[in-house]
Amino acid sequence: MTETAKSRLLVVDDEEDMLRLLKRSLPPDLDCEVETASNAYRALEILEASLFDVVLADIRMPGMDGMEFLEKVTRGYPGLTVVLMTAYGSIDLAVKAIKEGAYDFIAKPFELNKLVHLLGKAMERSRLVRENLLLHRRIEEQERFQEMVGASPKMQRVFEMIRLIAKTDVTVLITGESGTGKDLAARAIHDLSLRSRMPFLAVNCPNLPENILESELFGHRKGAFTHATSDKRGLFWEAQGGTICLDEIGDISPTLQTKLLHVLQEKEIRPLGQTKSIKVDVRIIASTNQDLGTKIQENLFREDLFYRLNVVAIHMPPLRERTEDIPLLVEHFLKRFCQEFKKRSMTVTPELMSRFMNHAWRGNVRELENVLSRAVLLSPSPEIRPEDVGWEAVAEKGCLVPNTVGLLPYKEAKVQVLERFHSQYLSDVLARNHGNVTKAARECGLERQALQQVMRRYGITSREFQTEED
């Protein structure tokens, strides 16, 4: 069994006799190491160089007095227990000292037994503060993983999977709805990997036309196509030794799928307009909000590429399946945005938190983040209420609907209204047809492929509406 470390006490007094008396007179059962300083300046130097549990300081000292010293200690060493002593004590001074952060106050001349009792309580207080900080840190470590926040079992499983695979070079496929944090998971894998000192490059595949995306990924030689006025290194080359994240991999064309399969199999790329291949050492992480299994059945995605990408799969759960994480996320975003916008600490009312817990969150964590960003920026008080985020009091189908449209510019308001319409309309029609896209398309009067394009645009998958019988 290991022996408990002794407490450490720093005594600060300009009277050398008092320092010697205290160092010699404190009984062994107090079980503490004592160090002394003859002025506040020396005490601050000692505190900077070493850790202490309790500081016992005189108030009346030349140069920097005990009250000024107390201010510097409480600001520079929060949580450190300070006891003040003086021969000129008064109730008013005692009250002021305690208000400004002192744990307690004792007047000279004092009885040694009384001082020992007070120091014992101060050391116990320091021990409890230290244990509380350690416990809080452990809890925070469990709730926060890299840049992700979550204490729910589903998120803890995600964190554990990332820890397990990060040190390997396996290809990873991250699935999940839009806004669930797929990009953060990819970044976490890289940051915990042996490649963490090398580049991490992410590319959003649907944002670029096919020919430009191919050039971005693999590079090109001068003259390979119109406007190719010079050689260009692709992202695979730039990411040598590191990681490349292909976001929304389900949207790449069949031609690019074939070329990507070649990269995965042969570990080499061929820039456009070049006949020689180049060996690359890059870890590939892919992500998608689509059901690649369905796309394979529809001949829209290569099955062999899927199996090459899906060596290890990580599914990011939607927010509605981890509602116990919402208070943690709210606290995390409030702290972040208050710092970013230089605002004092803010909270949400119990009523708003209740509404957050019952909201559908179609946009998942990203939607919650956006709501809180606007709330911190625009709320007139440190306590954010439902009306501060523009939410109506009327619930629709079990979830409250934000009503901020009238406060937005025309174009932004139009986009928000269309998003709500498509989200509600598509959810209703898919729910009625138990997630059967063919039947839903027929009911909508659309071609199946057209309906799938709209679903992809608004981040809606058929899987969430399918029942077990289906």
Asked if residue 244 lies in contact with residue 235, where contact means CB atoms within 8 angstroms, the answer is: yes
Q: Do the domains 7-140 and 150-317 sit in the same CATH topology, yes or no?
A: yes
Which pLDDT score is estimated for 397? 40
Which pLDDT score is estimated for 57? 93
- 2: DSSP letter: P
- Domain boundaries defined on the chain: 7-140, 150-317, 320-395, 404-470
The domain 7-140 is classified under which CATH number: 3.40.50.300, 1.10.357.140, 3.30.110.60, 3.40.50.2300? 3.40.50.2300
Which pLDDT score is estimated for 309? 96
Which pLDDT score is estimated for 400? 42
Separation CA 405–CA 458 (nearest Å): 18
Cα Dmax for the chain: 95
Closest by CA to 285, choosing from 236, 239, 241, 244, is: 244
Separation CA 14–CA 31 (nearest Å): 25
- 323: DSSP letter: G
Which pLDDT score is estimated for 410? 62
Structural tokens at position 182: 């797929």
Asked if residue 408 lies in contact with residue 414, where contact means CB atoms within 8 angstroms, the answer is: no
pLDDT in tens, 17-44: 888 888 888 887 777 888 999 999 999 9
- 171: DSSP letter: -
Asked if residue 230 lies in contact with residue 189, where contact means CB atoms within 8 angstroms, the answer is: no
**CATH numeric code, 320-395:** 1.10.8.60
pLDDT in tens, 235-263: 999 999 999 999 999 999 999 999 999 99
Which pLDDT score is estimated for 401? 45
Which pLDDT score is estimated for 398? 39
pLDDT, one tens digit for every residue, the chain (470 residues): 334 567 889 999 998 888 888 888 888 777 788 899 999 999 999 999 888 999 999 988 999 998 999 999 988 887 789 999 887 666 677 778 888 888 888 888 888 888 888 998 998 888 877 766 665 555 555 556 778 988 889 999 999 999 999 999 999 999 999 999 999 999 999 999 999 999 999 999 988 888 889 889 998 888 777 777 788 888 999 999 999 999 999 999 999 999 999 999 999 999 888 888 899 999 999 999 999 999 999 999 999 999 999 999 999 999 999 998 998 899 899 989 999 998 888 999 888 888 888 888 888 999 999 999 999 988 888 889 888 887 754 344 434 444 545 545 666 666 667 777 777 788 878 888 888 888 888 888 888 888 888 888 777 887 767 754 44
Which residues are registered as beta bridge partners of 194? none
Separation CA 46–CA 56 (nearest Å): 13
Instruction: Give the fold, CATH level 3, of 404-470.
Output: Arc Repressor Mutant, subunit A (1.10.10)
Superfamily of domain 150-317 in the CATH hierarchy? P-loop containing nucleotide triphosphate hydrolases (3.40.50.300)
Whole-model pTM: value is: 0.59
Which pLDDT score is estimated for 411? 62
**Is the bond leading into 386 cis (omega within 30 degrees of zero)?**
no
Amino acid at 347: T
- 287: DSSP letter: E
Which pLDDT score is estimated for 321? 92
